[in-house]
Amino acid sequence: MPAIEARGLVKVFASRSGEVRALDGVDLTVPEGTVLGLLGPNGAGKTTAVRVLTTLLTPDAGTAAVAGCDVVKAPGDVRRRIGLSGQYAAVDEYLTGRENLTMVGRLYHLGKKAAADRAAELLDRFELTDAADRQVKGYSGGMRRRLDLAGALVAHPPVLFLDEPTTGLDPRSRLGLWDVIEDLVRDGTTLLLTTQYLEEADRLADSIAVVDHGRVIARGTSDELKAQVGGERLELSVATADQVAVAAGILTGMGHGEPQSDPETRVISMRVDGGAATLMDAVRRLDGHVTVVDVALHRPTLDDVFLTLTGEATPREVEPA
């Protein structure tokens, strides 16, 4: 039995401009002990999915079970088996780190001593012992996130939900948090993670579901998704804006599909095969017509997957000028 199983989840929000289908038939399966990365731009429905799976929202249609418990029929049982760390650190500013964790322990109905011991253990694990008895309002962003994550772990939940755990953190804190998360997963915790950072999904997730407009538009391992986009990408920039169209015209037909160009940044990019030979060929053809300022050949990254699938790279061409 998978640790998380969702079928046809729908959640509609009423808004001033009509209905927003935040979830529009989402299916998810996360086998026990694995990490699913929910990847998508802002407003894709990632947070809504997490809120439904953690019983904070009731779905309008569809079913979901977490750790074998139905999120609608047995929300209390679900809550006993999950930990949630949200986008906004859910900690009390005026309590100390220790008081925050002890309170959560008490609310999980650990005894007084058990709650205090667990708090001390987590503070130690998350390197917060020195700050344990200071009020959280003096904590850095990274420390708050660590404390929040510690709060989610108080009751040793078998299933953990992390909603954009590193958004807004500096790179160093992000790396630190990734280490902590990797440790958890090694210990067998099932994790559903949402993120806007492809690097994060690439590093932490066993499988990735790309979400956009409330739907899962692609799923697979990071390698599978990269293979789905395929090939390499040629990217070059030219000296002036009026050269962009000229260069794009010359490059058409050399790769897959139309070259994508952006007059503002003067960058033209195109999917190609043939590696360095293609690059040389392209530069030769452009020589004398435009001034090439920079040229590079990119191996596919999850960014390419993401941009290709969500179409975020093209809106400028789609929108009327």
Chain positions contacting other proteins, by CB under 8 A: 51, 54-57, 76, 79-80, 82-84, 86-95, 99, 103-104, 106-109, 135, 148, 151
Q: Which residue has the tokens 């667990």?
A: 118
DSSP state of 189: -
CB of 133 vs other proteins, minimal distance in Å = 13
C-alpha span between 77 and 82 (Å, rounded): 9
Residue 56 or 254: the one with the smaller Cβ distance to other proteins is 56
Amino acid letter at 38?
A: L
Q: Name the residue nearer to other proteins (CB basis): 13 or 221.
A: 13
Q: At its nearest, how many Å lie between other proteins and the CB of residue 30?
A: 18
By beta-carbon proximity to other proteins, the closer residue of 58 and 221 is: 58
- Report, in Å, the least distance between residue 105 CB and other proteins: 9
Q: Of the two residues 90 and 313, which places its CB atom closer to other proteins in the complex?
A: 90
The 3-state DSSP class for residue 219 equals strand
The type of residue at 26 is V
> Closer to other proteins at the Cβ: 111 or 249?
111
Distance of closest approach, residue 42 Cβ to other proteins, in angstroms: 13
Quick one: 85 or 308, whose CB is closer to other proteins?
85
Shortest gap between Cβ of 119 and other proteins (angstroms)?
Answer: 13
Query: CB of 34 within 8 A of CB of 190?
Result: yes
User: CB 97 → other proteins: shortest distance, Å?
Assistant: 13
DSSP 113: H
- 9, 113, 178, 321 from 162: Cα distances, Å: 19, 28, 12, 39
| DSSP letters for 229-271 | H-SEEEEEEESSTHHHHHHHHHHTTSSEEEEEEETTTTEEEEE
Packing angle of the helix pair 97-107, 112-125 (nearest 10 deg): 130
